[in-house]
Structure 1
Amino acid sequence: MKRLLTLVMASLLFFSFVPEFASANSPTSLVNTAKNYMGTPYRLGGTTPTAFDCSGFTQYVFNKEGLSIPRTTGQQIGVGTSISKSNLEVGDLVFFNTSGRGVSHVGIYIGSNNFIHASVSKGVMVSSLDDPYYWKSRYIGARRVANFTDNVAKEEKKVAASAPVKEIVYATRGEIAQVLAEKLDLDMTTVNTTFKDVDESNPHYKAISAVAEANIFSGDAGNFNPNKELTRAQMAKVLVSAFELRGSAIANFSDVPNGHWATEYINILFYHEITTGYLDGTYGLSDKVSVGQLNKFIDRIHN
């Protein structure tokens, strides 16, 4: 959905006039643009996709979204409005003192206490503001150069008020079993299922047997519950098991506590950029999985 944003324009004298707030598509679009350059190498003075330095990267990404910001880190910290760490929103610029001599590094906040930036060691990557070994102690502040949230919310309200209600189709456990069995090319010729609520009359009978045999799905008290919908927490475990995903990163979704049974599965999905959560910093543990969401998650795994 294309969102039209009208943002307040102001100017600040900093060797030249630069906008305090300017227009851009949306915070999601900004983050997606930034992530297109993941892995781009670092080079001091770099301002193109061949190689970036930190402020060259932020300037390039914002320019791609139609938003002009100055070239250097020292200039960028003088633009927009100062934002406290507790009030960070997607699209804010975050600044660090990595040299011991004041502001020397900048990145783009992408939610869940994470930011994307051009690092000296690994090029464009995602890091955590809470990294106790480096970034947490070097964080010095943030600036908001585009007020996405208020304008996006207003536009969404207008669309919601005028658009017809569209029923969301949620994926059942049986349907997910079918999709996974086909995507993973599981053997569906040998059927051996003992679930009390699944027999040959079920259209997903063979797929359910295959995913159970592969230890991707398990039952509950002898039942598979083929018509029951899956939550996003359950989906995380299923996808990690199905595609044998490894690696982990701290996602820090506000609704996913450290002790939750699904936390590690969600962190693995986050590590592989299969999920970035919602714009408000939550993952949606108990939200039901729609057919569209399921397909998007699987597409991201394959891509």
Structure 2
Amino acid sequence: MKLIAALLPLLLAACAGAPENVAYAAQKSAPDRAAASAAKMVGKPYKYGGASPSGFDCSGLIFFSYKQAGVSLPHSTAEQRRTTQRVKLAELKPGDLIFFDQRGRKNSHVGIYLGERRFVHAPSSGKSVRNDTLDNPYWKKHLSEVRRPSA
């Protein structure tokens, strides 16, 4: 009887399973996880060629965020564009890549969509990773296309 009383709490604890938030995280898609990873990098410094929390350029942020989600993407804006599928703006989902034309160069900047018309990107030297809105007139004017990794 003492043995049963000692083992009962252990058996009940084992049947409880994983905490709810762990189970929920496992159900999230890779694009959702990549978007969440990028959002956690807001405030990290811009660093040309950077792809780690010590510093990011725009494509490095995408590379890092998808790597955290278990998906391999290239670390160059041009290659990220080439290896993803174009989608309509109306079909935008969290984790989609948003390409912008800047300084007369087509698809020269990339960010990752979070949802609710917000995206995260590493803007330029001297600045840090930020959360911006697609409703900003600058980004609205320079938006080029939306693409989706096959994750």
Does the alignment reach a TM-score above 0.5? yes
Question: 1:8-157 to 2 correspondence within 5 Å?
Answer: 24=30, 27=32, 29-120=33-124, 122-132=127-137, 134-146=138-150
Q: Which residue type is aligned with residue 117 of structure 2?
A: N
Q: Which has the larger radius of gyration?
A: 1
- Deviation, structure 1 residue 67: 0.5
**C-alpha contact (below 8 Å) 1:90/1:109 kept by paired residues:** yes
Question: 1:87-236 to 2 correspondence within 5 Å?
Answer: 87-120=91-124, 122-132=127-137, 134-146=138-150
Are 1:3 and 2:27 matched, yes or no? Answer: yes
Work out the CA distance in 1 between the residues paired with 2:45 and 2:39: 13
- Deviation, structure 1 residue 4: 7.6
Q: Which runs of 4+ in 1 moved over 2 A?
A: 29-32
Aligned to 2:17: none
Q: Deviations over 1:28-78 (max 9, x none)?
A: x32321122110111111111111100011101100110011110011111
Work out the CA distance in 1 between the residues paired with 2:39 and 2:114: 10
Change in Cα spacing, 1:3 to 1:78, as seen in structure 2 (3 Å) is same
Aligned to 1:243: none
- Deviation, structure 1 residue 104: 0.7
Question: Secondary structure of 1:77's partner?
Answer: helix
Work out the CA distance in 2 between the residues paired with 1:4 and 1:43: 30
**C-alpha contact (below 8 Å) 2:49/2:57 kept by paired residues:** yes
Count residues with an aligned counterpart: 126
Work out the CA distance in 1 between the residues paired with 2:120 and 2:28: 25
Question: Secondary structure of 2:36's partner?
Answer: helix
Change in Cα spacing, 1:32 to 1:101, as seen in structure 2 (3 Å) is closer
Aligned-residue RMSD, C-alpha? 1.6
Aligned to 1:278: none
Work out the CA distance in 2 between the residues paired with 1:51 and 1:80: 24
- Deviation, structure 1 residue 122: 2.8
Question: Secondary structure of 1:135's partner?
Answer: helix
**C-alpha contact (below 8 Å) 1:30/1:65 kept by paired residues:** yes
Q: More relative contact order in 1 or in 2 (CA 8 Å, sep 6+)?
A: 2
- Of all paired residues, the percent bearing the same amino acid is 37
Q: Structure 1: state its 5+ residue gaps.
A: 6-23, 148-303
Higher strand share: 2
Work out the CA distance in 2 between the residues paired with 1:89 and 1:4: 13
